[in-house]
Every structure is written in structure tokens, then in C-alpha cells.
Structure 1
Amino acid sequence: MKLFYTILFCILFHIGLAQSANQYFEKIRNNEAELTAFFAQMPKGGDLHHHYSGSIYTEPLLAHAIAQDLYLNTQTMTVSKEKQTGTDWVLFSALQKNGELEAYKQKVMQKWSVKDYNYVDYPSDKQFFESFTKFEPAIVGNFEAGLLELKNRAVKENVSYIETQLTTIPCAIKTDDLAKYNNQLRKMTVAKNEKAVMQSLDSLYTIFIQKEAKKYAADFNVNFVGKMHKELKIDDSQFTMRYQNFVLRFMEPVDLFKNLIVAFISADSSQLMAGVNIVSPEDGETSMKDYELHMLMFKYCHSRFPKVKYTLHAGELTLGLVRPEELTWHINAAVYTAGANRIGHGVDIAYEEKSYDLMRYMAKNNIPVEINLVSNEFILKVKENRHPILLYKEFNVPIVISTDDAGILRTNMTEQYVLLAKRYSSITYDDIKQFVYNSINYSFIQDPAAKKQLLQDLDVRFKIFEANFSAK
């Protein structure tokens, strides 16, 4: 009986702490500075929608480019390891010698990130997506420093897990002799001949296996990710990281499918590889043209690799960006056709055909939506009550809060929660706490023991955090 009352006391004590934290939260929810202090210290679980290259801040990228003495295009602020044609390409060392380096540092910051962006001179979505190609050579060969930067920032910010989309898997399999499949696959998709599409993908799969697709996946897992993860000691008692493979939407179908097969093989054969994704602007010409085909490719890969989890960028669209009818089916196709385990962004859900049924299905089948408030505001200009987060919540769709590309957007996880609290008064502290736990429960961590440990750690962190408010 004594043990029973001890346990009951502990339960009631912790409930009281949570209530005190909730009361304090409601008291400060209209004060941004107080909210920032609150959320900076609050445990934030995992960041599940996270692009490695877009999450490194510009300052260390630029420092690396200068240290490597890359070439800078003084008009576009693009860097290159080799001098390109034209007179605008100058070594950083030459800029330093001429006393121009500091001036160009500022210009680079404004092109590689949203720093000083005035929302007037250039489309925000183009500013965002074009930044990746400008600094890409500064990313290559600097993964170790970048991963440590992300880990150290996460630890300081009370983020205990990151599931990052690191890089594409190098694959030298030639596809010139398979080009005929590109038009065939597109025609069959337009004709709604799913059976024929799957038969063609099956033929391609056999070819890629014969051309040693498994070798490229194994080399990536062992000699790149595995080696680097171990040597850097990324996982410890404070922090855990896993990696998503991804493919690029703008590629021709055969090349995209080749990379998708390698990505699935990789994720199927290493516990460090959490899952698979697809990236690049969803409104791009090829992305739109081949969207349904891409969903069928994921469906096919699931049939081959049923244990592999995947999240899909879907519905990162809004009215005006594409024709209205294109807003009605992307999340539907990602959920129903591709069978996505999570949805990234999901901004156009209100426009989707039978959106209520779709959200009920997501809720029933535990398919979370990854909400990226700062990203959606900058790229799509969708914020406040135009954003569908409360719509998802109304239909009990699991929600996780993520940063997307914190480096380019010059944000962090804390700011996501500050905006969440300020903008949506119906979202309570208990809701936010649930979102945090969702970020671990719906992660793609393959090792059950690792996930259990993260959840137990989150319990301890919240008890410590909420104890701050017991006397307030």
C-alpha cells in the first residue's frame, strides 16, 4: 500500500508540474521574448524534416569556400572549384588581395541565405531554391564539419534527434541504352495503365540489380555514412542522428528510378539509414509532369522493400504558384498511391479533393504531417490562418514541427515553436508537448531500443524543464 501511495504522489506531483508549466505558458504566449526563453529551454525531441545542405549556416560555408580558395562568380555569387568560362570568376584569394573580400562576403550571405531579403526584388521561392546550387561546391568535402555544427547546435537547443537528408548516393550506372523507357513510362502513366508501368519498372529493376546497384548502396552505407558517423561519434547520451536518402524530382524517369532503387537498397541494409524521400521544387516542370509516375515508383519500391519507411514532400504548393486544379491531388497521390509513412509540408490540404476524407485516413493510419512554419511563410507566403496546421489538428492528424532548412532560412527549432504559440491560441502547452513526443514516436529510427531510450530521455528532460515552474 505504501508503494501505491508513493507512486500516486509522484504521478500527481508531475501532473502539477505540467499544469504549472501550462499556466506559465498561457501567461506569456503573446510575448515573443518570453516565449523564446521558454522554448529555448523546452525539450524539443526530433527534427524530422531536415535538409543537411540547407541547414548549415552560411558563415561556416563561406569560411570553407575561402579556405579552399574556390572561384566566386562576382555577379551570381556562385562558387566553383574550377574556373568557368567568362570574366566574372575570381579566386577568393584575389578578392582578399584586392581588398574586396569583405564586401563580397556580405553579397554572398544575401545570395546563399535569406539574410536581408526585402520580399520585393526577387521571388522568394526562387531565392530559396537557387541558393543550393550557388554554395554546393562548398558543401562537398565538408560534411564532417557540417554534421558537428548541426549536432552542437541541436544539443544547445535541447533537440535530441535529427533525421537529416544528407546527400544523394553516387551511382555510376549508365542509362543511355534505357532512354526509350522515359517516354514509355510517361505515356503509360498518362493512360492510367498502372500494370504496364509496374511491369516496366520491374524490367528496369532487374537491369539495375544486374548492373550492381547493391554495390553503390553498400559503399555509401559503409565507406561514407557509416565511417563518418562512427568517427565523429555523432550518437551519444545527449543526441542521436539518422539519415534519409533522397532522389531529385527534376531527373528523367529512368535516372530517377535508378537512384531510387539504390536509395531503397541503402535504407533496407543499414540501421543508420532511416528512410527515403524525394526533393526539389514540387512546382517544377518535370516535377509536375512526372508526379504521378514518381508516386508509382515509390509504390513499386515498397513492394520490393516493405520494411523501408519513406516520407514525401507533398502539397508544398499554394494558390497562384500552380493552376488551381494542380492543388487537388498531390497529397492524395502521396498517401493513397505511394503509401507515404509521413507527409512533408502538406500546405495545400485545404484544396485537395475530398480533403476531409484524406485527413481522416491520415489520422486513422497514423500518417503525420511535418509542419515547417518559417519555410512555408518564406517560400509560399503561407502563414497564420492561411496555414492549415489547425485544420490538421481538427482532424486529429499527427503533427510534428520541423525546421526544413534552418541555415538558408536563418532560423532554428525554437523559432518554429515561438511562431506556433503566438499565431495559434487554440494550441495548448499539452498539444505542443504531444508534437514533441510525436517527433520521436513517428521517427524512422529502426532500432526499437534507440527509440525507447530517446523517449525515456524526453520524459526526464520534461520533468527537469517543468520543475522550473513549480514556484511560479
Structure 2
Amino acid sequence: MTQIGFSQSAESYLEKIRNNEALLTAFFQQMPKGGDLHHHFSGSVYAEPLLERAIAEDFYLNVETMAVSKTKPAKGNWQTFSSLKNNDKLDYYQQQIMQTWSIKDYNGSVPSDDQFFDSFMKFEPTIAGHFAEGMLELKKRALSENVSYIETQLSTIPCDMNVSDLSDFNTKLRQASAQKDEKAVFKLLDELYKALQKKDAKKYADDFNNNFLAKLHKDLKMDDERFTMRYQNFVLRFMEPVDLFKNLTIAFISSSESKLTAGVNIVSPEHGENSMKDYWLHMVMFKYCHSKFPDVKYTLHAGELTLGLVQPEELTWHINDAIYIAGANRIGHGVDMAYEANSYDLLRYMSKNNIPIEINLVSNEFILKVKENRHPFTLYKEFNVPIVISTDDAGILRTNMTEQYVLLAKRYPDVNYETIKKYVYNSINYSFIQDASVKKQLLKDLDNRFKTFEAKFSKN
């Protein structure tokens, strides 16, 4: 770990402005913020450019749901943006779209978790074929607020593999899972894994790595002396077991063969029907893939739950299983930690084994209504669990990295400048960057950025 310096003058100034959001914003806007490790690409692009694209390409708009489509679907009331403009209705629908594709002007008319999770599929058609524009937008924004690294979940890996002949495994896996028979699940996954190899799973990973990821990254010149980007592969929780395991296997193969990838993740609402029903099974799947690809790192969305969202007993085991069964290298969200069974032992284990928690303050406040002293941030800090600060979905949530640190400083006055600086360094030290020289350079750059930042206060 890089040695973290300490600046009394920056420390003193932060304490002086602790309760003033405008002064805190100016302070943290300029402070180096290292990396954003919990970052969904599609949810981080702001709605404005997506809407501009839909209008420019004359997409169809469902005037009831605010979803868009490149072609006109058979069902629903769909109108082109050009027709809305000709009928002087475009301004009205633009406002409705902004309030549906993001939390702008949110008024509580729908549950906050539905507002958030339902937005993705509404604007998703505007992203297809336009990854480059979004990546450049994110890089530009990162540079403007002194973020030097993003570890983003860019895209699922396209795969048209036919697995209909393997559908019996869905029932078998769920039956073994219901008995918590890990040995039986492993045996079934072994059979399934061999079948996927025969269907040439590797070609999908190679195609994604070489013909999409590497080409896009190189063409856009994403890495330079001021900024670096890496990519997490991810799978979707709501899928049937065979499809999910197929995608998970390909994701692990991809991450094992490309230095641009930074591990694997699992996403989608944790409280969804399949997410809850198959959660333990998913954790065993990660454990199995780790046995095949021991060098691949993975972070897991776990414990993005709170009292009332699910039954109380469901709050007691998700982080436990992500750590003890799946063997996660980092945990994303971890909001239900206070409810987890033997949470003190779990926290001590995370601390001892340097398993960081990715804290997303704005996201947790909006989606789960968990903030301030209800948030487990202090619990993780109390047990010396490594902490990283991240945004989650800055576009949908209308936020940025600066705001995360403003809320951190304002809500938790015992977190001093030295500790905040440590969290910044954690975001590089605990990143999944595979190339050690790249990580070393990012840390060196962070040292220089902090020297420049702290010099501003010594001049006062």
C-alpha cells in the first residue's frame, strides 16, 4: 500500500467548513478522488444526451410509459418524436421522459426502487451502438471532478448459444439448491460446464474481448496520463440458472484472458423473485467458477436490502453467503449488514481479510431510503473494514462523485481528512486492475495530485 500523507492545513479547513454544503462541494470538487469502483455504465450516462439521440434518430416513444424503441412495437401507443414535434407536444414529453429516465423532480408517485430499476429498459435502446459517446462523456466528467479511474460494468457479453437441450438442469439445480446440497450442485455444474465447453463458450468471450472491448478502448484512447478505465463483466440475477451460468462462465473466461477486464459482478434487483429464490445457488456458481479461474477477481452486489423491502429473515444471510460461500473480493452496497446473522464476526472477517465495502450514499438513500445513522457506514468503519466511496448510477441518480464525499463529510463528522484520503487511496489499492504497473502509476499520480491540492491550503 502507498503511504498516505497528512496535511494539517487541509484537515483544519475541512473541519471549519464541515456544515456548509457549498464550501464542502468546492473542496471535494477539487480534491483528488481516485477511482469509482461501483459503477454501472448505462446508469451513469445522464438522460439528456440519451434523449437528444432519441429525438435526432426519430425513435418511437411509448407515450404512456416513456419507453423508446428504434422500431414500432406491435402493442402500445407509440409515436415518433417527429410527430410529437409537429403536434407541439415534444416539450411536454421531454419533461415526462426526464422524470422517468432519471430521478429528476421525483415526486414519490411511484416507489423509489421501482422508479430506479424500471428506468433502465426505457432508455436502453438509445445506448445500443453508442457506447463510445457514453464512455467519452464519463471520461470527460471524471476529469472535470478529479477522478482518475473508473471500473465500469459496461455491457453483458452477447451470446446466442442455444442451451435449450440443457433446460433440465434448471430443475435439477434448484432441487439441489433447495436442499443446500453444495456437493450435488457442484456435480451438476461440472456437467453443465463441460456441455458449455462443447458449445464453444470461449469464442463468445474472445469475440467480446477482441472485437468489441479492446477495439473500443483503443480507438477512444481511454487511457492516458490523467485517466484510466477498466471493465467488469456482469450477469443478470433474474435469468434462469442455465442461462445465468452460461453467461457467468463466459464472463469468467473473458476476465481470465483480457487485462482490460477487472473481474466479474452480478446485478439486477436483489429483492426480485429469481434473485431471492436462487441467491444461494448463484453464490455456489461463483464459487465453482472461482475453482476454474482462481485468478479472476469478483465483487458482488449483496445486502442491497432493508427492513420492509423483504421479510426480516431475508436480511440475515446475503452478505454472509457472498463472503463465506462465493468468496467475494469486494462487496457492493452491504446495506443490510446490521441485520446479518453474526454480523460482528462477519465484519471482523472482512477486516482481517481486507474485503472492502463499496459505499454508495446517494443510491442507498434514494432506492432504499437508508441514510445518516441508519446507514451501516459507521458499522463498517467501527470494525475497520476497508471502505471505498462510489456512485453506482450517477446518471439516473443525478449525482456525481463529489456529492458522495460531501454527504460523507457532512453526515459523519468523525470522518476526518486523513480518513477520507485513505478511502481515496483504497479506491486504487483495492481496484481489480490486473496490470501492477498501471496500478502503481495511478497511485503515483494520486500522490502528485494530493500534493498539488494540499498546496492550495498552505498558501492561505
TM value normalised by structure 1: 0.96
Q: Choose the corresponding residue for 2:151, options 133, 157, 163.
A: 163
- SS across alignment from 2:298: strand
What are the Cα deviations for residues 381-434 of structure 1, in whole angstroms up to 9, with x where unaligned? Answer: 000000000110000000000000000000000000000000001111111000
1:135 corresponds to which residue? 123
- CA–CA separation in structure 2 for the residues paired with 1:155 and 1:210: 45
What are the Cα deviations for residues 276-297 of structure 1, in whole angstroms up to 9, with x where unaligned? Answer: 0000000001000000000000
Q: After superposition, where does 1:191-230 map in structure 2 within 5 Å?
A: 191-230=179-218
2:97 corresponds to which residue? 108
**Does residue 35 of structure 2 align to residue 50 of structure 1?**
no
- CA–CA separation in structure 2 for the residues paired with 1:361 and 1:420: 24
2:362 corresponds to which residue? 374
Q: After superposition, where does 1:265-276 map in structure 2 within 5 Å?
A: 265-276=253-264
Q: Choose the corresponding residue for 1:172, options 157, 160, 163.
A: 160
1:202 to 1:65, Cα distance in 2 relative to 1, 3 A: same
**Does residue 65 of structure 2 align to residue 65 of structure 1?**
no
- CA–CA separation in structure 2 for the residues paired with 1:223 and 1:115: 36
**Does residue 378 of structure 2 align to residue 390 of structure 1?**
yes
What are the Cα deviations for residues 176-231 of structure 1, in whole angstroms up to 9, with x where unaligned? Answer: 11111111101101112111100110111111111011000000001111100000
2:436 corresponds to which residue? 448
Residue type of the alignment partner of 2:297: K
- CA–CA separation in structure 2 for the residues paired with 1:121 and 1:172: 39
1:423 corresponds to which residue? 411
1:75 corresponds to which residue? 64
- CA–CA separation in structure 2 for the residues paired with 1:439 and 1:428: 17
- CA–CA separation in structure 1 for the residues paired with 2:54 and 2:203: 32
- CA–CA separation in structure 1 for the residues paired with 2:185 and 2:261: 28
Q: After superposition, where does 1:8-19 map in structure 2 within 5 Å?
A: 15=6, 18-19=7-8
Structure 1 unaligned segments of length 5 or more: list them. Answer: 1-10
- SS across alignment from 1:163: strand
1:362 corresponds to which residue? 350
Q: Which moved more, 1:189-198 or 1:396-405?
A: 189-198
What are the Cα deviations for residues 318-348 of structure 1, in whole angstroms up to 9, with x where unaligned? Answer: 0000000000000000000000000000000
1:433 corresponds to which residue? 421
Q: Which moved more, 1:327-336 or 1:172-181?
A: 172-181
Residue type of the alignment partner of 1:269: E
What are the Cα deviations for residues 9-54 of structure 1, in whole angstroms up to 9, with x where unaligned? Answer: xx9xx75xx1100000000010000000000000000000000000
- CA–CA separation in structure 1 for the residues paired with 2:177 and 2:75: 43
1:186 corresponds to which residue? 174
Residue type of the alignment partner of 1:410: R
**Does residue 315 of structure 2 align to residue 323 of structure 1?**
no
What are the Cα deviations for residues 232-271 of structure 1, in whole angstroms up to 9, with x where unaligned? Answer: 0000000000000000000000000000000000000000
- CA–CA separation in structure 2 for the residues paired with 1:101 and 1:236: 40
CA displacement at 1:103 relative to structure 2: 1.3
1:405 corresponds to which residue? 393
- CA–CA separation in structure 2 for the residues paired with 1:417 and 1:440: 16
**Does residue 238 of structure 2 align to residue 250 of structure 1?**
yes
1:152 corresponds to which residue? 140
- CA–CA separation in structure 1 for the residues paired with 2:359 and 2:127: 26
4+ residue segments displaced more than 4 Å: none
Calculate the aligned-residue CA RMSD, in Å. Answer: 1.1
Q: Choose the corresponding residue for 1:39, options 28, 43, 47.
A: 28
Q: After superposition, where does 1:82-101 map in structure 2 within 5 Å?
A: 82-86=71-75, 88-101=77-90
**Does residue 455 of structure 2 align to residue 467 of structure 1?**
yes
Residue type of the alignment partner of 1:22: E
- SS across alignment from 1:309: coil
Task: Number of aligned residue pairs: give it.
Answer: 458
Residue type of the alignment partner of 1:441: N
CA displacement at 1:468 relative to structure 2: 0.7
What are the Cα deviations for residues 106-126 of structure 1, in whole angstroms up to 9, with x where unaligned? Answer: 1100000000002x3110000
CA displacement at 1:87 relative to structure 2: 5.3
Structure 2 unaligned segments of length 5 or more: list them. Answer: none
Residue type of the alignment partner of 2:14: F
- CA–CA separation in structure 2 for the residues paired with 1:206 and 1:102: 55
